[in-house]
């Protein structure tokens, strides 16, 4: 059980107390980790909303900003652009506590 959060959330007991070696990655905007906005705020203090359907003037992060995970934390958002011969990430919005 995850203590201090409303609802029942489970953690694999075999993973408790194990070392974690993480890396940085972009998550899909539809990843289950951030799909439930309220849970993402409660568990990770991470504010995220897919803004593609918002008018441009009301977007905080861009048309299709992606969450950034580093190690075991959600640390920010970025817009990723993929073309035929390159992949660009710009800008990056850090998630401040």
Whether residue 3 lies inside any domain: the answer is no
Instruction: Identify the pLDDT of residue 8.
Output: 72
> Which structural domain range is residue 40 located in?
19-94
* pLDDT, tens digit (0-9, with 9 covering 90-100), for 18-75: 776 777 888 988 898 888 889 888 888 898 888 888 999 999 888 888 999 988 889 9
Q: Phi/psi at 76 (nearest 5 deg)?
A: 170, -170
Does the residue 39 lie in any domain? yes
Query: Is residue 14 assigned to a domain?
Result: no
Alpha-carbon distance of 79 to 65, in angstroms, equals 4
pTM of the model: 0.70
- Residue 10 domain-assigned? no
Residue 30, domain member (yes or no):
yes
Give all strands of the β-sheet with 65-70 in edge-to-edge order: 24-26, 65-70, 73-82, 87-94
In a domain? residue 8: no
Tell me how many domains the chain contains: 1
Matching residue, tokens 């705020």: 41
């Amino acid at each position: 059980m995850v203590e201090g959060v409303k609802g029942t959330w489970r953690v694999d007991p075999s993973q408790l107390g194990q070392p974690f070696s993480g890396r940085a990655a972009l998550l899909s905007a539809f990843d289950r980790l951030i799909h439930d906005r309220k849970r993402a705020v409660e568990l990770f203090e991470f504010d995220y909303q897919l803004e593609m359907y918002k008018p441009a003037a009301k977007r905080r992060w861009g048309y299709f900003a992606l969450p950034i995970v580093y190690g075991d934390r959600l640390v920010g958002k970025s817009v990723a652009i993929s073309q035929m011969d390159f992949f660009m990430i710009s800008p990056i919005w850090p998630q401040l506590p």
